[in-house]
Amino acid sequence: MSPASLIVYVLVFFLIIIILSSFVTVKQGTIVVITVFGKYRRILTPGLNFKIPLIENIYSKISIQNRSVELEFQAVTFDQANVYFKAMLLYSVLDQQEETIKNVAFKFVDERNLMQALIRTVEGSIRAFVATKRQSEVLILRRDIVEHVKEQLDTILEGWGYHLQDLQLNDITFDDVIMKSMSQVVASNNLKAAAENEGQALLITKTKAAEADGNAIKISAEAERQAAQLRGQGIALFREEVAKGMTSAAKEMQTANMDTSVILFTMWTESIKHFSENSKGNVIFLDGSSDAMQRTMKEMMALNQLHTDAVKK
């Protein structure tokens, strides 16, 4: 092979390499930054792209996908309690605009410096917030801490070309002494709540029992009052009917010219019969004289006359 032919083959070989290197394939979720002699030139989007060989160079490949990093750091509260955080930081490139990609590519020397600045900024923001709160408040302010960090970092990260997607505080702990004291406080509060609930239940039980007893006494008293009233009314009606019957019988006997003492005698014998049938005693004393009978008859007739006058009024 002659020297001329060899030179041609070498030139063709280098030409093929140059042509092949002119085509750049960019993966999905990636942006390629192109420079010319060290100066920013343009960006290449996902797909097949062309660049000028030997002039345009690939400076960096930037992923626009979400990225995460785990953090572990310590903070001190306002009342000098140590708080230990375990967090997960989720961030990404702000957008695919050219200015944003330039900030991402040229703001930091490399990825390690970016991560160091990002982590220290997040830790510093959380420490500044926790330093204004008491130890007892930190656990219930998890959401407030996240919102504070995002509010503080959004502007800073946008200047770097990034956006804070989410910050999750997975674990918040204290020193062992504080954790034990917190457990004791929770246990004592639970015992206190249980005692209060038991006392309230006992009070309610006794109150309801007292109310039930009071209602029972009221019902019993009301029933007794009504029963006594009805008994009195029954006795009064009985006496009224007896008086009416005896008065009517006496009048009829007087009309027939009969002796009214017969009525008294009949009542007297009926009374003796009733006493003998129902009494448990052995001796019965009765005034069976005519004077006593006449006196009783007059009293009953006078009672009937009073009732008649009352009805007419």
Backbone angles phi, psi at 223, to 5 degrees: -65, -40
For residues 152 and 165, what is the distance between their CA atoms, to the nearest angstrom? Answer: 13
**42 burial level (CB within 10 Å; 0-12, 13-18, 19+):** middle
Q: Are residues 198 and 164 in the same domain?
A: no
**163 and 106 within one domain:** yes
Q: Residues 167, 77: one domain?
A: yes
The parent domain of residue 24 ranges over: 3-63
Q: Tell me whether residue 13 is in a domain.
A: yes
pLDDT of residue 146: 86
- Total count of domains within the chain: 3
Among candidate residues 46, 54, 69, the one with its CA nearest the CA of residue 21: 54
Which of 118, 141, 174 is the last residue in one of the domains? Answer: 174
pLDDT tens, position by position, for the chain (313 residues)? 577 777 777 777 777 777 777 888 889 989 999 999 889 999 999 998 988 888 888 898 999 899 988 888 888 888 888 888 888 888 899 888 889 999 999 988 888 898 889 888 888 888 888 888 888 788 888 888 888 888 888 888 888 899 888 888 888 888 777 666 656 666 667 667 777 777 777 778 778 777 777 787 888 778 787 877 777 777 677 666 766 776 676 676 667 666 556 666 666 666 666 666 666 666 655 555 666 656 665 665 665 566 566 656 5
Question: Is 288 contained in some domain?
Answer: no
Question: What pLDDT does residue 35 have?
Answer: 92
Answer with the one of 174, 208, 242 that is the final residue of a domain: 174
What CATH number does the domain containing 82 carry? 3.30.479.30
Distance CA 78, CA 129 (A): 10
Calpha distance 164→169 (Å, rounded): 14
Residue 305 located in a structural domain:
no
Per-residue confidence (pLDDT) for residue 229, from 0 to 100: 78
Quick check: is 307 in a domain?
no
Please check whether residues 94 and 141 belong to one and the same domain: yes
Strand partners, 73: 85
Cβ neighbours of residue 45 under 8 Å, at least 6 residues apart? 26, 31, 96
* Same domain as 258, residue 231: yes
Question: How many Å apart are CA 290 and CA 262, to the nearest integer?
Answer: 10
| Residue 29 backbone class (left: φ over 0; alpha: ψ -120 to 50; beta: rest) | left
Residue 255 CB partners (closer than 8 Å, separation 6+): none
Residues 208 and 242 in one domain: yes
Whole-model pTM?
0.52
Q: Which of 174, 207, 228 is the last residue of a domain?
A: 174
175, 167 Cβ separation under 8 angstroms: no
Please indicate, yes or no, whether residues 204 and 166 belong to a single structural domain of this protein. Answer: no
For position 33, what pLDDT does the model report?
92
- State whether 72 and 101 are in the same domain: yes
Residue 105 located in a structural domain = yes
